[in-house]
Structure 1
Amino acid sequence: MPERIARNGVFRRRWWGSPSRSLAGVFGDPMLRNGHALIASASMTQFVGVLYWIFAARLYPVAVVGRNSAAIYIMLFLSGIAELNMMSTLVRFLPMSGRRTVRIIAGAYITSGAIAALISSVFLYLIPHLEPQLGFLRSGTYMALWFVFSIIMSTIFVLQDSALTGVRAAPFVPVENGIFSLLKLVLMVPFAGLLPMAGIYVSWTAAIVITVIPTNAYLFGRAIPRHLRSSPAVSPEPKFGEIRSFLIPDSLAAFFLLASTALLPLLIISRLGPAAAGHYALAWVIGYSLFLVSMNMGSSLVVETAADQSRLRQRAFRSMTHLAKLLVPLVILIIVAAPYLLLLFGRGYARTDVTPLRLLALAALPTLITNTAISVTRSQRRMRMVLGIQISICTLAWLLSVVLIGRLGITGVATAWLIAQTVTALALTARPGLWLPPRHHVRGRTIPAYHDGPDRQVQPVSTARRDPLVTSEKLAGPAERDMRWNGHPVRVTAPVPTEVWHTVASTDPSATPFQWPIWRDCICSGGDWEDASRLYELPGGRQLVLMLARRTGWPERLAMEASWPYRWGSGGVLAPGGAQPDELALVSTDLAANRAISVSVRPEFSAASAWLKANDGAYPIARTIHVAHLGTSFEDFWASSVSTRTRSNIRAARRQIEQAGIVITSGNSPELLQDFYETYLRWIDWRGKQRKMPASLARWQAQRIEPFLKFKTVASRLGKDCRIWVASWEGRPVSTAISLYGGDTAVGWRQHTDLSVPSRFRLSEVLIAEGIRHACESGCRYIELGETFGNASLETIKERLGARKYPCAEYRFEHLPLGRGWLAYHTIRRRAESWIVARTQNGNHSAGRRS
């Protein structure tokens, strides 16, 4: 039975899905359908744009490419100012404007066109003072008039896309932009001979003028009448005051967006020259195409939530998760293929633009969050927040560009853009309440069925789901839902009531100190995690307890769940007599359907084989743990499991400890706990020094990961079931250990030794032996001695003291491959640390030989 479940696991179906279902899901959702239409439009434009710049790089000198690209960015900047960001206003208000739709669009065209004529004339006059490199734009009367006219038409060109989106005619946008892209490519070739200094700019703007005419004929002749017939206004038509209160701050936000994108080439051309501006333009046209993906999906999000915002939060998460699946592989592809892509422009570009292109592509990942946040707050008309996000990005991008451009050139500008987007995205992620609407708690909601194979259905029948960001204490009681598995009903309760958990743990012979309710309370007491445990009630009354904690402060789809969190020990499933493989398959199926971005489960070592049989959907991370199985007394265990030589060495070490005046104390008191943490920090100092890390940084990192409050909480809550050993020499602690006890099992939880103490004392081994002795005296069947994380000497010590090694995998249920990334990161980190340590030791040996 488990094998069948594994082959048809929900995890795989949810992550990869079938192509037909995935396409049906995309085209059945108006937000995704219109968003993909806009993305397709932008992709087509950018693809042909890349071809356009390839021809430009081949037909024109790099300095001419730089001047013309700067002129195009100036055109985009001036037209962006002229349209007052009314493109967002059209997207926001046209879906609910009713009969005023034509008047609003025409008013936007006339107002923006007049402003465009004015500011382009002023800029033309100021060119000699602002940027002499753009003097070709006023080299003659016809060229000057064309520049002014092109700004006006560019403004209308931008507004017409938003008008089409606002009246739900976004599928026409790719057609329009495809015509524009092909036209500018075709026109550039003859203009290369006719206008050798301005051919790029003129071909670009001439294509805009030609495209505007048929597009507006379609907009006013067919799209708007169809929109009025099929989508009557569902809300009161917006008043002028509402539009104005939206427009003014949104226009300021658009100005800062343009300043952080279209104006940066002016900084480059003034500081580095037109050739550098040409190089940056070609890297930017590829990197910016990824930026447009999330921006266009955000426009569709605004349209679909403008009139009804009851599902804004859910649609925002759907947008982000969908975009992540598109952007992550694209970013990886561009980073890997950057040198080959740039070869299309020429060898000169491939030599200098690889790093800027990679940085700009990587910046598309944080923009997924920043652009979605802008769209969400724009839909809510929280324009101050929109303005704040754009100011943050623009300020950081410009300040860092000014600082870095002198040292790194165009790479510095690309680095500034990446840092600006990343810092802003991290701030938004840390405080989701600033931009996401509050979640509404809905009880009695029906959830569609999902399938696990052709003849099995896992179907939630009714549910009262709790808010994962609200702790169980804030709820009236545990939330319950029903699911069907293998034809039988299963009741799922979350979180697990404490008394039920305690009863199940008492009947599971494999329950460790990490698997009792009091340990859950320790994990959740710090506020970083909350109880997300689940109780499965099977037919016949059998109960399963899944130990689970959820990271607080994160949106549901970005939250991480763990059983248990890193450095909090093993979790898994409890059941009377131990969980069976088919029962673990049920739990795995439910976890695979979870909405959290990642769920990790680290089962206890005795359940490893059952989890291995039940799993086929989660990503396993191999781990090993050492366990000492105890006898009736410590003397029996010591004689049967530890070699004569090791026993003799321990006896000799004890004599030397007594002769040196080292005192070993055990118990549970604030003084012993303080001694433990002091020894831990000295060990961190030694470890940081060995790895060439500043002591302050090493301590800060250690105290952030394992603060003193964590150990204080465990010691105070567990009481006598938490025992601390401290070896003191000359009045200061030099070696410490903590053991935990629960039921008839024990865990050697932490141990640290001051490595300045002579190794002949064997303090680590002596304290492990003391922990084993106390476990035997407490009636424990075995004691876990933890993982060794590849430390061969520590592994040898544990095995010398009678422990055996057991495989014990961790399982990751994920919607994104975070487990693989986490494993790769830690593998690289450990290898790097081993290399640094080896170099340090070799250097010390060499210095010793020279002295």
Structure 2
Amino acid sequence: MSVGTSLEPGLRGASGDPRPLRVTSPAPVDVWEQVLASAPNALPSQTPTWLRCVCLVEGYEDVSRLYETADGRRLVLPLVRRPGLGPILATDFGLPVGWGPGGLVCDGGELHPEDVRMVVTDLGRRHVLSTLVRPDPATAATWEAAVPASVLREERMTQTLPLDGGFDEVWRKRFRSDTRNRIRRAERAGVLVECDDTGDLVRVFQQLYRESVDRWARRDRLPLPLARRLAARREPPRKLSTVAAMLGSRCRVYVAYHEGRPVAAIVVLLGARTAMYWRGAMLEKLAGPVYANYLLHKTAIADAVAAGCTSYNMGDSARVSSLELFKSRFGAVSQDYASYRIERLPITPLVQRARGGVRRILALRQVRE
């Protein structure tokens, strides 16, 4: 069902940038697939199948946008929206929290600043409360060069391991020596890794995830029932099972076993040339001493190379964190990028100021009491 189609031949925006010749929403799946076929470096989270997973699990509706320019180029922006609100009250997400980066995918895979300018201008004209876009980190420089300074930004950092040269090159020149040693120690300790792309290991991952939630709750001093409710809302059990069923062989669950017991697991998604580490869980006291996570990622990286991938996206990390250090030990390169919130009216600054005012009032009351 088309949410809205506009034809704007020969028009120019206020900035002088050309408007698209045609905008179609939702983006037709067949055209989207054609664009992806010419952009092999696109992320697994930039596909129509992924967007269907988001909608099925979270209850969103597809409001993706296909842009066709006067010179015949096509660009697709994955977007979803909560149904029933109407555009004036709606916030569009590309993509929601927990679903990875979205952003533009275009014919040929080469994104230009004028493409970003055109799309941001279009998004700013719509009668939508807010649009949050989290682009592919690999295109960060292009987005930053084109997005106006007035657009709100959330700074992020991701880490990606280049896989060019083959696994032997990655092993010898990108893995740190202490990483290779930890992998060998895991193998000597008897850690075994099982890989599945049929969904059979989803339940094993989910059990490890539930135990991880309990550990995080103890670490963060959260009441256990509250932590479990928040985790179930953020990562409902149907999420991974839906992704595994929809993506098939493109979704791989890796589980590390020690002494016959599952101690750690990761989920890796495969695109044409980009593998994406999506989720992880472990029993820290059992997995840590035997370096199970090192062997898990080594196995997944070797498989990604064998599948023809040229990069292994390890996801976002906080600067100067243990997670950043762990990923860097595999040779993952840090990349700064940003999410962008495009609003017709400055709603977010007003909300942030209101929240800040409430916090200051509460702090004053505590001081007086």
TM-score, normalised to structure 1's length?
0.39
Residues 1:599 and 2:131 aligned together: yes
Query: Quick one: which of 86, 104, 124 aligns to 1:555?
Result: 86
- Whole-angstrom CA distance in 2 between matches of 1:503 and 1:822: 41
Following superposition of structure 1 onto structure 2, how do residues 734-749 of structure 1 map, counting pairs within 5 Å? 734-749=263-278
Q: What is residue 154 of structure 2 aligned with on the other side?
A: 621
1:749 Cα offset (Å) = 0.6
Q: Which amino acid aligns with 1:818?
A: T
Q: Tell me, which stretches of 5 or more residues in structure 1 are unaligned?
A: 1-471, 826-851
Q: In structure 2, what residue type is equivalent to 1:764?
A: N
**In structure 1, what is the equivalent of residue 359 of structure 2?**
none
CA gap 1:612/1:695 in 2 versus in 1, 3 angstroms: same
Indicate how the Cα distance of structure 1 residues 637 and 663 shifts in structure 2: closer, same or farther if over 3 A, else same: closer
With over 3 angstroms needed to count, the CA separation of the structure-2 counterparts of 1:822 and 1:753, relative to structure 1, is farther
Deviation string, structure 1 residues 126-173 (Cα, Å, up to 9, x no partner): xxxxxxxxxxxxxxxxxxxxxxxxxxxxxxxxxxxxxxxxxxxxxxxx
Q: Name whichever structure is richer in strand by fraction.
A: 2
> Match of 2:5?
480
Alpha-carbon distance in structure 2 between the residues aligned to 1:765 and 1:695: 29
User: Partner amino acid for 2:222?
Assistant: M
Kept in 1, the 8 Å contact 2:159–2:333? The answer is: yes
The equivalent of 2:175 in structure 1 is 642
In 1, are the aligned partners of 2:23 and 2:67 still within 8 Å (CA)? Answer: yes
In the alignment, which of 590, 593, 596 is matched to residue 122 of structure 2? 590
Distance 1:668 1:565 in 2: 25
The residue type equivalent to 2:144 in the other structure is L
Question: Which of residues 818, 824, 846 is equivalent to 2:348?
Answer: 818
Q: Is the 8 A contact 1:564 1:571 kept in 2?
A: yes
Kindly tell me: are residues 487 and 619 of structure 1, through their superposed partners in 2, closer, same or farther at Cα, counting changes over 3 Å?
closer
User: What are the Cα deviations for residues 736-785 of structure 1, in whole angstroms up to 9, with x where unaligned?
Assistant: 10000011111011111111216221122221211111111111010100
Which amino acid is the alignment partner of residue 619 of structure 1? Answer: L
Are the aligned partners of 1:812 and 1:819 in contact in 2 as well (CA < 8 Å)? no
Secondary structure at 1:809's aligned position in 2?
A: strand
2:23 aligned partner: 492
Question: Counterparts of 1:751 and 1:569 in 2: how far apart (Å)?
Answer: 14
1:706-758 CA distance string (max 9 Å, x none): 10111111000000000001123455422010000011111011111111216
Aligned partner of 1:774 among 303, 308, 331: 303
Equivalent position SS for 2:67: strand
Is 2:127 the counterpart of 1:581?
Answer: no
Q: Which amino acid aligns with 1:638?
A: W
Q: Structure 1, residues 781-830: CA drift from partner, whole Å, max 9, x if none?
A: 101000123561111110011101001110011234437967998xxxxx
2:38 to 465, 489, 507: 507
Equivalent residue runs for 1:377-392 within 5 Å? none
Alignment correspondent of 2:236: 707
Q: How far does the alpha carbon of each residue in 1:315-353 deviate from its partner, in whole angstroms, 9 at most, with x for none?
A: xxxxxxxxxxxxxxxxxxxxxxxxxxxxxxxxxxxxxxx
Q: Is the 8 A contact 2:102 2:134 kept in 1?
A: yes
Matched AA of 1:726:
V
Amino acid in the other structure paired with 1:645:
D
Shift of 1:552: 2.0
Amino acid at match of 2:229: W
Residue 478 (structure 1) shift: 6.4
Given that residues 630 and 637 in structure 1 are in contact (C-alpha distance below 8 angstroms), is that contact kept between their aligned partners in structure 2?
yes
Shift of 1:587: 0.2
Structure 1 residue ranges, 4+ long, deviating more than 6 angstroms after superposition: 822-825
1:520 is displaced (CA, Å) by 1.0
163, 167, 170: which one aligns with 1:630: 163
Provide closer, same or farther for how the CA distance between residues 627 and 679 of structure 1 changes in structure 2, counting only shifts above 3 A: same
Q: What is the alpha-carbon distance in structure 1 between the residues aligned to residue 245 and residue 19 of structure 2?
A: 43
| Partners of 1:722 and 1:740 within 8 A in 2 | yes
Q: Secondary structure at the match of 1:526?
A: helix
Which secondary structure does the structure 1 equivalent of 2:221 belong to?
coil
Name the CA distance, whole Å, in 1 between partners of 2:50 and 2:18. 35
Match of 1:516 in 2: 47
Q: Which has the higher helix share?
A: 1
Specify the code of the residue in structure 2 equivalent to 1:565: P
- Name the counterpart of 2:337: 808
The residue that corresponds to 1:796 in the other structure is 325
Match of 1:750 in 2: 279
Cα distance per residue 1:98-126 (max 9 Å; x no partner):
xxxxxxxxxxxxxxxxxxxxxxxxxxxxx
Q: Return the alpha-carbon distance in structure 2 between the equivalents of residues 823 and 791 of structure 1.
A: 29
1:644-723 equivalences under 5 Å are 644-656=177-189, 658=190, 662-723=191-252
1:610 aligns with 2:139: no
**Paired letter, 1:776:** V
Structure 2 residue matching 1:511: 3-state secondary structure: coil
Task: With a CA cutoff of 8 Å and minimum separation of 6, indicate the structure with the bigger relative contact order.
Answer: 2
CA shift in 2, pair 1:489/1:692, >3 Å: closer
Number of equivalent positions: 346
Identity %: 33
Question: Compared with structure 1, are the counterparts of its residues 651 and 716 closer, same or farther at alpha carbon in structure 2 (3 Å cutoff)?
Answer: same
SS at match of 2:88: helix
Which digits, 9 at most, give the CA deviation of each residue in 1:189-221, with x for residues without a partner?
Answer: xxxxxxxxxxxxxxxxxxxxxxxxxxxxxxxxx
Tell me the equivalent position of 1:254. none
Kept after mapping to 1: 8 A contact 2:153/2:341: yes
Scaled by the length of structure 2, what TM-score is found?
Answer: 0.88
Q: What code does the residue aligned with 1:482 have?
A: L
Deviation, structure 1 residue 618: 1.5
**1:377-407 residue CA offsets vs partner (Å, 9 max, x unmatched):** xxxxxxxxxxxxxxxxxxxxxxxxxxxxxxx
Q: Distance in 1 between matches of 2:48 and 2:59?
A: 17
Q: CA RMSD in A?
A: 2.1
In 2, the alpha carbon distance for the partners of 1:758 and 1:539 equals 55
CA deviation string 1:415-453 (max 9, x = no partner): xxxxxxxxxxxxxxxxxxxxxxxxxxxxxxxxxxxxxxx
Cα pair 1:533 1:545 within 8 Å, conserved:
yes
Question: How many angstroms apart in 2 are the aligned matches of 1:711 and 1:822?
Answer: 33
Shift in CA distance, 694/491, structure 1 to aligned 2, threshold 3 Å = same
Structure 2 unaligned residues grouped into runs of 5+: 356-369
CA shift digits 1:546-570 (9 cap, x unpaired): 1111122323222110111111111
Which is higher, the Rg of structure 1 or of structure 2? 1
